[in-house]
Homo-oligomer: A and B are copies of this chain.
Amino acid sequence: MSFKLKDIAKEANVSISAVSLVLNDKPCRISEEKKALIKKIAEDNNYTPNINARSLITKETKTFGLIIPDIENIFFSRLTKAIENYCRQFGYTLIIVNSNDEYTQDLNLIDLLLSRGIDGLFITISNSAYNHQEDICSKLNKLTIPYVMIDRIFPDFDCNKVYFDNVKGAYLATKNLINHGHRRISCIINSINSQNSISRFEGYKKAMEEHGLSIESDFIIEGDYHIKSGYAAGDMIIKNNTTAVFVSNDMMALGLLKRLREENIRVPEDLSIVSYDNLLNDFLIDMQITSIDQKVSELGTVACDVMLNHIQNKELECKNICLDPELIIKNSIKDIVYKEQP
């Protein structure tokens, strides 16, 4: 038989709701001595709160929901872990659901999480949600709990959002190649119509245009963020006579490296590479790739802070937080010198 709220109340000679308020650190008119006594009784008797009983009184579930597009993708599994670890420190449990990158699932899973009781929702929308913005926004607008959009956002939609500046990341990556003397620079881009891939292409174009470099049609190669598409892109890179390539994610960079190795094309001696995500270097044995780091743990903890602020301080103004990605320099870029035309 476990020790219950009412047992503590009886022993401390206070009401059950007083015990609940004290153990949940809510403001109440109870003396510090009495508070200490209540906490001591709870501790001595190894009291663990019953979630249902607590939520009846506090209306809180101490649970957050997280909708994620693909739990198998290292970026998202690390993000999930970061959110989970941070929430745990504040006494919140995280319930995770996977949308399989389908916007219909985004809609269903919001309902599912609401029906199970959560205090707040984190959501990284599916890529297909960009073609159904109205449906998603209308669903989110009706929520009566706080929510935070993470990583994938709608720029014009007013809500809590925490994400990285993808234009800036791609700009930094491409500019770094230009600074090393490169002029003919390919770009392997995700063809799926998402805000983040559009922004990364924008950053590449911006850097090229700023330096008066032309983007020939065969410089732009489409992929799908997976290893195989980077491998396939390798064939185009081998043909298009560029000296450097900006790859818009690490998995495609890995595929490209596999294809180049087959043809004995060396990095950086024969081709310079800069990539995106900085998740690959852990797995590479004899080289490291210059890459744009999106600090996953920062993304997760800032999103949690926004959520907790909203809940604890009843803050109602929406936060729009754009985080800066960082260029991590490794040895995958060679300096080259072009001869000036006479």
Q: Which of A98, A282, A286 has the largest count of B CB atoms less than 10 A from its CB? A: A98
Determine the residue in chain B with the shortest Cβ distance to A113.
B95
Task: Kindly state whether residue A217 has any CB partner on chain B within 8 Å.
Answer: no
Chain B residues with CB under 8 Å of A97's CB are: 93-96
Contact A261 B282 (CB under 8 A): no
Q: Does more than half of chain A's interface fall in helix, strand or loop, or is it mixed?
A: helix
A250 → chain B, closest Cβ, in Å? 10
Q: Name the one of B112, B261, B283 contacting A63, with C-beta atoms under 8 angstroms.
A: B112
Selected interface stretch from A76-84, A196-204, A309-317: A76-84
Task: Kindly state whether residue A10 has any CB partner on chain B within 8 Å.
Answer: no
Chain B residues with CB under 8 Å of A285's CB are: 254, 257-258, 261, 284-285
Chain B residues with CB under 8 Å of A52's CB are: 115
Question: In the complex the two chains form, what is the Cα distance from A91 to B42 in whole Å?
Answer: 42
Determine the residue in chain B with the shortest Cβ distance to A80.
B71
Q: Which of A95, A284, A285 has the largest count of B CB atoms less than 10 A from its CB? A: A285
Near B by CB (< 8 A), chain A positions 236-286 give 254, 257-258, 261, 280, 282-286
Task: Kindly state whether residue A117 has any CB partner on chain B within 8 Å.
Answer: yes
Question: In the complex the two chains form, what is the Cα distance from A257 to B72 in whole Å?
Answer: 24
Identical copies of this chain, number: 2
Task: Kindly state whether residue A111 has any CB partner on chain B within 8 Å.
Answer: yes
Task: Kindly state whether residue A51 has any CB partner on chain B within 8 Å.
Answer: yes
Contact A98 B96 (CB under 8 A): yes
With A51-B112, A77-B77 known, 7 other A-B pairs at CB within 8 A are A63-B116, A70-B81, A71-B80, A85-B100, A94-B97, A96-B98, A284-B285
Q: A84-B71, A286-B261 are in contact. Are A98 and B109 (CB under 8 A)?
A: no
A74 → chain B, closest Cβ, in Å? 8
How many interface residues does chain A have, given as a range?
35 or more
Q: A51-B111, A112-B51 are in contact. Are A71 and B63 (CB under 8 A)?
A: no
Task: Kindly state whether residue A227 has any CB partner on chain B within 8 Å.
Answer: yes
Chain B residues with CB under 8 Å of A280's CB are: 283
Q: Name the one of B72, B109, B286 contacting A93, with C-beta atoms under 8 angstroms.
A: B109
Task: Kindly state whether residue A180 has any CB partner on chain B within 8 Å.
Answer: no
Question: In the complex the two chains form, what is the Cα distance from A74 to B282 in whole Å?
Answer: 13
Q: A77-B72, A285-B258 are in contact. Are A84 and B98 (CB under 8 A)?
A: yes
Determine the residue in chain B with the shortest Cβ distance to A280.
B283
Q: Name the one of B48, B51, B71 contacting A71, with C-beta atoms under 8 angstroms.
A: B71
Contact A94 B85 (CB under 8 A): no
Task: Kindly state whether residue A211 has any CB partner on chain B within 8 Å.
Answer: no
Question: In the complex the two chains form, what is the Cα distance from A112 to B258 in whole Å?
Answer: 45
A285 → chain B, closest Cβ, in Å? 5
Task: Kindly state whether residue A88 has any CB partner on chain B within 8 Å.
Answer: yes
